[in-house]
Structure 1
Amino acid sequence: MRISIPILTLLITLVSIPPLGAQELVDPTATRTLPAAEEDYFPFEDDFDEAFVATADPLEPFNRAMFWVNDKLYFYLLKPVARTYRVVPEPARVSVGNFFSNVATPVRLANCLLQFRFIDAGREVGRFAVNTTWGIGGLFDPARKHLGWQKKDEDLGQTLGYFGIPAGPYLVLPVFGPSNPRDAVGRVGDGFLDPWPYVLDETWEVIAVKTYERINWLSLDRDTYEAIKREQLDPYIFIREAYTQRREAMILE
């Protein structure tokens, strides 16, 4: 059964955003060096500035309730499945992540162009060509390993910020995790550039693929969220400020 692209983009967004916004978080206790391919998943420094500037959070009661929902979803469903999936050797899971990253090139490319980052856009085209051929369909990343062409993570939320659209108040949504109105709109917009709805026939197939991508991503996570819960007096505040600062830093890069 087919459904309209706008509705499908919402469904894709629902299953494609890392639970609790994990990709935006920083683990201040992390010390290990990530393999090159794994850096795609956790491209953050360990010396995160703890001198937070408070984020506007007028919806804090609602946000804390959603934070609790996401916390339970993470610990009782998503992470157990991801840990079970770790029976698959890590190099294979990293290659799966490389493949999904390669498929997502149109999102990064379009947003590089929208921000007039033509050099980065050209590099994304080059990365796609090299990794699709030399990298065997994107399973490997020779463009970075051998040519030094780093992936440029750009999305529509960053593009809107580049043009001065304010982020708006902090917002936590069930499953989606940390966000704000600007990023929420951007994620839906990016869904129109996602190739999967255009190459798969059935809606359930798209949702299954995107869910598998998230499980694979979580299987490579070294319990970042668990470390935050263990080390931070108020994990909600830490995640809120980490998310906000990281997103603003990405816009200014």
Structure 2
Amino acid sequence: MVKHQRQGFFLFCFIFVFLIFFKCTVFAEDTVSHEKDYLDEETITTVADPLEPWNRLVFQFNDRLYFWLIKPVARGYSMVVPEDFRHAISNFFHNITAPVRVVNCLLQGKIKSAGVEAVSFVLNTTGGVFGFHDFAGKDLKLRVVDDEDLGQTLGNYGIGNGIYIVWPVLGPSTLRDTLGTIGDGFLDPVNYLELENAIMVHTIEFTNKTSLHLGEYEDIKASALDPYIAIQDAYIQYRNKKIKK
């Protein structure tokens, strides 16, 4: 009996961590959409990269995966689902992850922002039809300055980036942000669905978000002599700027 309980516990842990890291894929895709803003800045931000040989191999793997699989799927999806619907789906997923933002606002002492996030969640879930419409933001002009996550919270308390990591499929991250994403995963309600349902929901979320940002990764590659360094630098600058807000 005890043996079966332990097996069940370890299976649960494995599945939960898998779903959290699947969620990282969406996080990384969202980050790429902001990285272009930092490519033309003169400041070069350094980060410890002792895993660079491995990271570069993973970067090349992710690059090929994007062009051979992810982009074609997202492009086909965008041809079937109208853009307005895709934005509505994006609003829905942003709304259901409100607990992540509320908790991290509170952990950073941003009481007002936490309140705005909580109120926005209630308004969007009700008046926005389960969050598909950003009722609080578009109609009531109720907006939070910036999304908060555990990686930012840890940075706010003085914890540095740690080493730079490029995860297979998931993309650029740091040790701090990886740990932060795992922590945030416990607040994501999707991760508590049955395994097959959770995977399906995260896949829809990732495909939908990718379809809204097609071409942005290509722009980053085209404007950089070394895309690996360009994305690394832009990612670190982007995360550092979010922490300072």
Scaled by the length of structure 1, the TM-score of the pair is 0.86
State the alpha-carbon separation in 1 of the partners of residues 39 and 232 from structure 2. 17
Query: Is 2:55 the counterpart of 1:59?
Result: no
Query: Is 2:74 the counterpart of 1:82?
Result: yes
Question: Aligned pair count?
Answer: 234
Query: Is 2:140 the counterpart of 1:147?
Result: yes
Query: What residue in structure 1 maps to residue 230 of structure 2?
Result: 238
Matched-pair contact (CA < 8 Å) for 2:71–2:214 = no
**Correspondence for 2:64 among 66, 72, 79:** 72
State the alpha-carbon separation in 2 of the partners of residues 20 and 228 from structure 1. 17
Q: Tell me which protein shows more helix as a share of its residues.
A: 2
State the alpha-carbon separation in 1 of the partners of residues 172 and 218 from structure 2. 16
Shift in Å at residue 50 of structure 1?
Answer: 3.7
Query: Is 2:30 the counterpart of 1:23?
Result: yes
Which has the higher Rg, Structure 1 or Structure 2? 2
Shift in Å at residue 140 of structure 1?
Answer: 0.5
State the alpha-carbon separation in 2 of the partners of residues 241 and 168 from structure 1. 14
- Identity within the alignment, %: 45
State the alpha-carbon separation in 1 of the partners of residues 169 and 206 from structure 2. 12
5 Å-filtered alignment, 1:117-156, equals 117-151=110-144, 152-156=146-150
Query: Runs of 4 or more off by more than 6 Å in structure 1?
Result: none
Query: What residue in structure 1 maps to residue 211 of structure 2?
Result: 219
Matched-pair contact (CA < 8 Å) for 1:8–1:197 = no
Give SS of 1:154's match: coil
Query: What residue in structure 2 maps to residue 31 of structure 1?
Result: none
Query: What residue in structure 2 maps to residue 179 of structure 1?
Result: 173
Give SS of 1:17's match: helix
Query: What residue in structure 2 maps to residue 115 of structure 1?
Result: 108
Matched-pair contact (CA < 8 Å) for 1:107–1:190 = yes
Matched-pair contact (CA < 8 Å) for 2:89–2:208 = yes
Gaps of 5+ in 2: 1-7
Change (3 A) 1:232 1:50: same
Matched-pair contact (CA < 8 Å) for 1:27–1:224 = no
Matched-pair contact (CA < 8 Å) for 1:103–1:195 = yes
Query: What residue in structure 2 maps to residue 191 of structure 1?
Result: 185
Query: Is 2:235 the counterpart of 1:250?
Result: no
Question: After alignment, is 233-242 or 49-58 more displaced?
Answer: 49-58
Change (3 A) 1:109 1:48: farther
Give SS of 1:68's match: helix
Shift in Å at residue 27 of structure 1?
Answer: 5.9
Gaps of 5+ in 1: 29-44
State the alpha-carbon separation in 1 of the partners of residues 18 and 181 from structure 2. 11
State the alpha-carbon separation in 2 of the partners of residues 111 and 27 from structure 1. 23
Query: What residue in structure 1 maps to residue 158 of structure 2?
Result: 164
State the alpha-carbon separation in 2 of the partners of residues 184 and 47 from structure 1. 23
Give SS of 2:166's match: strand
State the alpha-carbon separation in 2 of the partners of residues 113 and 17 from structure 1. 22
Shift in Å at residue 94 of structure 1?
Answer: 0.4
Matched-pair contact (CA < 8 Å) for 2:26–2:209 = no
Give SS of 1:167's match: coil
Change (3 A) 1:47 1:86: same
State the alpha-carbon separation in 2 of the partners of residues 247 and 133 from structure 1. 32
Shift in Å at residue 130 of structure 1?
Answer: 1.0
